[in-house]
C-alpha cells in the first residue's frame, strides 16, 4: 500500500522526468549541465581557440585561477585513460623491468604487476611523463589548460 502511493506520486510528477522508448529516464536539460568539468587532451592537440561551449573563451596562461593540485577524480581519469592507451599498445614513457629468464628471483605476482597497464600508468603519472594536458572548465565558460608536469600530485 505504501509503495502504491509512492508510485502514484512519482508518476504524477512529470516536471523533470521524460522516459525514452525503452522506459529509461532522460534528463530534460538539453545537455546544458556540464557535470564533467575536465577534459584530457594530448599535449600536441592544444589549440588556443574557443572551446565547444557557447560564449566560452580561453583563460590567459599567465593568470591561473584553479588549484595546482591534482584532484583524486582527475587522477583517476588520467590513470584510466592512460591505462587504456597502454592496453592498446601505446608506447610507454618510462622503462619497465623485463625478465631475462623465467623467474629472475621474482614471483609471478611481481611479474604481473610489471605488465599491468594500471600500474604502469600510475608509475608514469608519478614520474610526470604522461604527455597529457588537463583542461579545467570554469563556471563562466572559459577554461584553463594545465600540463601534468605543472600540477602537484599527492
pLDDT of residue 44: 67
User: CA 154 to CA 139: how far, in whole Å?
Assistant: 25
Q: Is 70 helix (H, G, I), strand (E, B) or coil?
A: coil
Domain 37-150 top-level CATH class: alpha beta
Q: Which of 125, 34, 114 is nearest to 77 (CA)?
A: 125
pLDDT of residue 6: 46
Domain boundaries, the chain: 37-150
Q: Is 40 helix (H, G, I), strand (E, B) or coil?
A: strand
pLDDT averaged per 10 residues in sequence order, the chain, 154 residues: 47 48 49 62 62 50 86 97 96 80 65 86 95 93 93 92
pLDDT of residue 110: 74
pLDDT of residue 33: 46
pLDDT of residue 139: 93
User: CA 31 to CA 74: how far, in whole Å?
Assistant: 22
E-only strand ranges, 1-154: 18-19, 25-26, 38-42, 132-137, 143-147
Q: Supply φ then ψ for residue 137, to 5 degrees.
A: -85, 140
CB atoms within 10 A of CB 26: 9
CB 58 within 8 A of CB 143: yes
pLDDT of residue 98: 67
pTM of the model: 0.61
User: CA 15 to CA 60: how far, in whole Å?
Assistant: 40
Q: Is 25 helix (H, G, I), strand (E, B) or coil?
A: strand
pLDDT of residue 60: 53
Amino acid at each position: 500500500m505504501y509503495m502504491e502511493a509512492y508510485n502514484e506520486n512519482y508518476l504524477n510528477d512529470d516536471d523533470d522526468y521524460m522516459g525514452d522508448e525503452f522506459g529509461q529516464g532522460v534528463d530534460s536539460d538539453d545537455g546544458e549541465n556540464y557535470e564533467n568539468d575536465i577534459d584530457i587532451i594530448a599535449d600536441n592537440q592544444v589549440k588556443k581557440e574557443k572551446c565547444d561551449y557557447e560564449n566560452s573563451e580561453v583563460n590567459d596562461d599567465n593568470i591561473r585561477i584553479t588549484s595546482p593540485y591534482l584532484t583524486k577524480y582527475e587522477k583517476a581519469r588520467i590513470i584510466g585513460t592512460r591505462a587504456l592507451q597502454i592496453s592498446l599498445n601505446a608506447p610507454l614513457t618510462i622503462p619497465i623491468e623485463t625478465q631475462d629468464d623465467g623467474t629472475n628471483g621474482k614471483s609471478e605476482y611481481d611479474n604481473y604487476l610489471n605488465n599491468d597497464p594500471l600500474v604502469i600508468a600510475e608509475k608514469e603519472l608519478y614520474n610526470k611523463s604522461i604527455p597529457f594536458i588537463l583542461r579545467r572548465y570554469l563556471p563562466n565558460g572559459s577554461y584553463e589548460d594545465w600540463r601534468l608536469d605543472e600540477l602537484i600530485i599527492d
